[in-house]
Amino acid sequence: MTTAVAIAQRVQSGESSAVAELEVSLEVIRSRNEELNVFLHVDEDGARAMAKQVDHVVASGSNAGPLAGVPIAIKDNLCQTGVPTTCSSRILEGWRPPYNATVIERLVAAGAVPVGKTNLDEFAMGSSTENSAYGPTRNPLDPSRVPGGSSGGSAAAVAAGMTSIALGSDTGGSIRQPAALCGLVGVKPTYGLVSRYGLIAFASSLDQIGPLTKTVTDAALVLEVIAGHDPMDSTSLPEPAPSLMAHLNDGVAGKRVGLVRELIEGADEEVVASVHRAVDVLRDGGATIVELSIPELHLGLSAYYLIAPAEASSNLARYDGVRYGLRVDADDVAAMNEATRTMGFGAEVKRRIMLGTYALSAGYFDAYYGQALKVRTRMIEAFRSAYLEADLLIGATTPGVAFTFGSKTNDPMAMYLNDVFTIPTNLAGDPAVSVPFGTGEAGLPIGVQLLGPGRSEAMLLAAARVLEVGDGRS
């Protein structure tokens, strides 16, 4: 699968057609989906209708948009009118949304062709896509290993060449971590830059939608399309989409890059070495390197696993067997509600609902949830101080490369530690980008993470482009 930029240029010029590009995508899906379990639903008829519409626009002499005819995979926690949307949970089995998420509307308006919904950890709660009610997704680079999570299906779709671009959501690293494990570019935007309307909520103060792509240029293009104010989302920033493509080649000359000790501590030797090589590339590009310590980052994991489950406990209370989704009949409403939630939710979702409910309960609210919010504030202030010393920060995305199936499923803490480097950015609401840089065990890709203050996506993507070229990828 070629890049989104190249596909759009071919379709708009008439060298190819949206229908032809879609058929290439569908053929790859048919050949590998059974092996990898990437797509939970492929909307062939709907996609073909959209592709024909794009070709009609091109034939009329009009501009079909910056993503003209580009097939795109959609994480199955984003609503698309009439298309099954499950969050990889039995509790939403058979539900078809009556509306589109804002990001879907914007992608289609830009000429993109959604081909189907990808697998994820149930309700986006996980780091390996092993928590799906519909079975795990396999890493296309090594099917004995996980693709990461929770956006593992979206990452695998791009890594397998099923589509050139995909959408994921990032609550604690769920775009960046699978991007790192599958050798992709993954962007977690500034909180509020991309509308969350139509994203089925996990933790509302943390969730953000972003792209998974093979190149930095594709990531910039997709983010430019989906970003910008949306009156349907009360947390949406009141400003237009940023100009990203125009700044991709700005480089890093004159920038101060902070190498953060806490963002490489505990990582595998090959990962640390890759981060240091990436630092050398940025230095060669004219950046000044400063070494920083942000001790507050050590508190991130603990704060996150109180705040996120608390919000999940509230958000998932709506799945009661009454309004939509699964319903298990029983003698009375209370029994029906209990039976429905018992059967509909998987083990990890139940674990987090119980943890969150406990943290919010009378007598424990101040000690747990309230304390976690204070820690979050300290972390925001610590990042703010760090950005007085550096324009952007660099560290590892994950502690290691993709791990084998089952190796962490029996130890929740070991699984949670996979997000130790990504969680702080979500708590702060700032943007971050994971870029493939180097390889580790078994030749599997390593991700290097660039972090910046709010609304710094243009600078981050320009730095990511420097690393992309420096790693010999383009």
Which residue numbers are catalytic?
75, 150, 174
Residue showing tokens 């099954």: 84
User: What residues contact 60, with CB distance under 8 A and at least 6 apart?
Assistant: none
Burial 417-449 (b: 16+ CB within 10 A, else e): bbbbbbbbbbbbbbbbbbbbbbebeeebbbbbb
CB 181 within 8 A of CB 129: no
Give the length of the chain.
Answer: 474
Quote the tokens at residue 192.
């509020």
- Amino acid in the structure at residue 104: I
154 neighbors 36 (Cβ within 8 angstroms): no
Both tokens of residue 136? 């795990």
Residue type, 356: G
- Beta bridge pairs of residue 187: 433
Q: What angle do CA 414, 416, 422 make, to 5 degrees?
A: 130
Cα–Cα distance, 425 to 391 (Å, whole number): 15
Q: Determine the longest span between alpha carbons in the chain, in angstroms.
A: 71
Asked if residue 54 lies in contact with residue 64, where contact means CB atoms within 8 angstroms, the answer is yes
Identify which of 85, 181, 95 has the alpha carbon closest to the alpha carbon of residue 124.
85
C-beta of residue 208 within 8 angstroms of C-beta of residue 189: yes
Contact 74, 226 (CB under 8 A): no
Helix residue ranges per DSSP H, 175-268? 176-182, 216-226
What element of type H or E holds 333? Answer: helix 333-344
d(CA 137, CA 119): 7
Strands (E), 5-76: 39-42, 71-75
Q: What angle do CA 189, 190, 194 make, to 5 degrees?
A: 65
* 406 exposure class (CB count in 10 Å sphere: 0-12, 13-18, 19+): exposed
Phi and psi at residue 198, to the nearest 5°:
95, 0
Cα first-last separation, the chain:
16
Specify the 3-state DSSP secondary structure of 184.
Answer: coil
Which two tokens mark 139?
């890493």
